[in-house]
Amino acid sequence: MAAPGDPWERPPEAVIAAGAAFEGLLQLSEPARIDGLLTGTVLAAGTVLIGASGHVRACIEAEEVVVEGELEGEVRASRKIELRPSARVTAVLATPSLVLAEGSFFEGRCETVGGEKPPAPGAPETRPGSGQTP
């Protein structure tokens, strides 16, 4: 059962079931769940969940990507990427928020995008818009 606020409270509009395979461009306007094999490109307006039995080799652009299965490729998420305990990911990730659960495996590179970079240690703080230190 999904936790409150989890995008999987209701069944997703698009599903690639376990045992199914898809190759090519997948464009989604609703949340989607991938439990089968997907190779190609995924462009999603919402959340993409790669289930525990999912095997994905793709470039993915989405609001949020949640991985429980295997993912290889490139992922750009405008909100968050979450790797759950069973996740096995070899990829280049770009997102403002990365969540790695204990037990998940990640090999690759992650770029934090969409947020302000924190100041370097020991660097003077600046006031927004002033360019001056306090």
Give strand pairing partners of 76. 61, 94
- Integer Cα distance of 63 and 118 in angstroms: 23
pLDDT band at 114 (very low <50, low <70, confident <90, very high): confident
pLDDT in tens, 11-60: 666 789 999 999 999 999 989 999 999 999 999 999 999 999 999 999 99
Whether 117 is in a domain gets the answer no
Whether 121 is in a domain gets the answer no
Give how far Cα 37 sits from Cα of 9, 17, 48, 128, Å: 23, 9, 14, 47
Whether 6 is in a domain gets the answer no
Is the pLDDT confidence value at 127 over 60?
no
Whether 125 is in a domain gets the answer no
Whether 83 is in a domain gets the answer yes
Give strand pairing partners of 106. 89
Mean pLDDT for the chain? 85
User: What is the pLDDT, as a whole number, of residue 66?
Assistant: 97
Whether 3 is in a domain gets the answer no
Whether 1 is in a domain gets the answer no
Give strand pairing partners of 98. 81
Average pLDDT rounded to a whole number, residues 94-121: 84
Number of domains in the chain: 1
In which domain, by residue range, is 69 found?
14-112
- Integer Cα distance of 70 and 40 in angstroms: 14
Whether 61 is in a domain gets the answer yes
User: What is the pLDDT, as a whole number, of residue 115?
Assistant: 56
Cα 110-30-112 angle, rounded to 5 deg:
15
Is the pLDDT confidence value at 117 over 60?
no
